[in-house]
Structure 1
């Protein structure tokens, strides 16, 4: 049988020879890793619920080739063998060095703009994220995750589980032994089927409360940052955990539980009373999500423009909520470099189960995710 290769690649990047594809892919993955902060704020992905594509510049991988030059310019040689690591053995001609001013006359660096999908980004992002301090609760009340693991190959089974590769190999082997090399005929004895085993493993259950300020002071930029963060948080939790529930609560002067679509799309107005969302979360914990049964992770986003007379009440409720939770996180969207009165009182709370973060621009989404969803050493008392 004639040998052949099957290959898949992005057409706009992998149009070179097949032998370069692996090196290009390495460059793409390196570019994604180095540009996560930019990609996580990409509107083409966020606004299409993860179905969009981002464009990322990737340096070209041209093959090495010989160039012939004239002898009328200074050259850089290999040296006479007496040089050590780090020694300068030559300099570029003066005309090729940048002057640092003016438009410049030197060629730039070739690069391609590669399409980057959500899967490409998530592969790099999620490996660094996890729920901090996740615990198995008492009384054996961990959630159970069911998995199907293919452990064996048999000669009987349903056609949907037919292992085509092993079936063809068995037919070729049998026909070759008979002196008629080839795939056909395929007999019933050649069929091979994958079989699986149901595996149930314990996993600690968790509830994440997504709390978002939707008052009139939350402008388009503030709402975009909050929803972008919660978008990636949702993707991360659904990808890495099978028994994590997300509760969406929006608030202005009053708080209300809403569904996912409403949380990510509808806007509101009015004043800001942050204590309302903490009271709603505490109410739900008392009614349905006991800390004895669940790991609790409230995550609140606001611009910090809270009613001043409500700040002290917020501090007391945050302390109460923190005592019941595995971790309490607060993100403040503040692109104006001012200190809000709400963050000022929150920073006075000294508890290892509290994490705070101030957003200045879109690229803060990535460090905020790592700050809220990473395991750190617990402070010693």
Structure 2
């Protein structure tokens, strides 16, 4: 079967060091013959461009907000949209109707409407036949409005968990109703989508995992005891403060334990201060953002990856660690248990629980045989169910056919 016509991939910020799975998905689709153009609502800070691949993607990505702020470009987008007045009116009414409550919500949705017109004009100029969105909050609103204004069908990947905390605020049910299909990253995400949508739209909901390239994380040799790794955003939701307290507790019996943290975020300063207060200044190293090659190298040199999050979808960093044949310690939240099999590929602990986390760290740090067995099981699980190329093929099938027939742009109104 032939590949679909040119498609547009949209998210709030692209490329971004914390969302490399989107970059992998785009690359895999291109490898399958799809012409994928990328758009980002905002321009990502250069600190996120941690390798040549991301710098190249950033240079080729279309940026909506800065285009919308350019008076002539915004005027040109409006004039283009007004050539189809019924579409324009429907999109404007949709923006007003789906806005969060209050004046602020209305203003934000009018801003998203302006960005949607810019995107619609860009898609027309580039011959885009389908629009796909990741992270279905504000950029998902832009995608929904751009689809209405342009007649180009759209879909989105539903991640969570944060959108599930305020589904009405983000008009999740409306977005599902209007999407051609929804790629849910886990069974958990699909179940939440079912909760917030009409049963008539459930056939649109398909599980398409985020994936990794297992070859990039080739099975690593045995690592020394007592080396822990965290990779992720340094924000409250990741539970790093609990990890630091657990590390201090575990070091009472295993004083050689160390922790490397790859990532950055608003909580970094507070976490560095907490590490000093806990007497961990020499045991904990903060490395900031790193590229995919550096993360793969860090995994080769660590014994256990720890992710103590309070809320998650299906964390890609756990897939990366398991692809490198490293056991993981994670919290039993969201879709984590769909990836990590407790006591087979890692250990699952309750979220926010310091003592169980400390016990899990001590148990794996001192047992190389168990780590090797868990690592082998985890790598096999990722190869079987979370390979980026295989998941991209699932997405390509949806792009070609959707849940109810071939996807075609809507005729001009």
TM-score if structure 1 supplies the norm length?
0.29
- When you count helix as a share of all residues, which structure comes out higher? 2
- When you count strand as a share of all residues, which structure comes out higher? 1
TM-score if structure 2 supplies the norm length?
0.27
Larger Rg: 1
